[in-house]
Amino acid sequence: MSFEQAEGTIFGIAGDNGAGKSTLLKILASVLSRDKGEVVFRGISLDDLARWRPMIGYVPQELALDDRFSVRETLAFWAAARGFSREGRLRFLEIAVTDPLISGFLGKPIRECSSGMARRVSLIIGLLGDPLLLLLDEPFAGTDQDSRELILDRLALLRSRGRTILISGHEQELLGQLCDRVLLLRDGEVAMAEADPA
């Protein structure tokens, strides 16, 4: 498999279940090892994990949220796990209070959050540290219209700020509207690449 993506763009990875979308993103997130090939972003190789991982934000399809915590506690936990100082965590939570993605339910327990709310929380976690490359695996799965629109707005804002985004999904029409390019996978191979689908 071979593809290139320009910085400051949204790149879609489409395909049916089992096509290899999640595997590709896990490799790019350094969760899985690749068998061969080379991955480079901003001149940094995936093999140089100490420099690669700080550039990456990864939101897997399987949400890793502990339902014993509130949304606020979840954000504080992940900020600490990412190495934020106490002051940094407090500042992050202050910003979260005004963030339209999550401001309306910071005190809600994770177990009471809708699927769309949980996706929004996971996106905020993926954005910790302001990554240059954001990897999103099926970020619209189970979302209602409100959550979908909020996520779309945030992705457009990130692109306008020069962030690079790879997003997987099976809704090719949605990816075509959102993305600068769409790559279609079939059985782990590139079946088709569409440039400027919008």
What is the tens place of the pLDDT at every residue in 117-176? Answer: 999 999 999 999 999 999 999 999 989 999 999 999 999 999 999 999 999 988 878 888
pTM for this prediction: 0.89
Residue 2 within a domain: no
Q: What is the CATH number of the domain that holds 103?
A: 3.40.50.300
Range of the domain at 175: 10-195
For 81, other C-beta atoms within 10 Å of its C-beta total: 10
Domains in the chain, number: 1
For 146, other C-beta atoms within 10 Å of its C-beta total: 12
Residue 3 within a domain: no
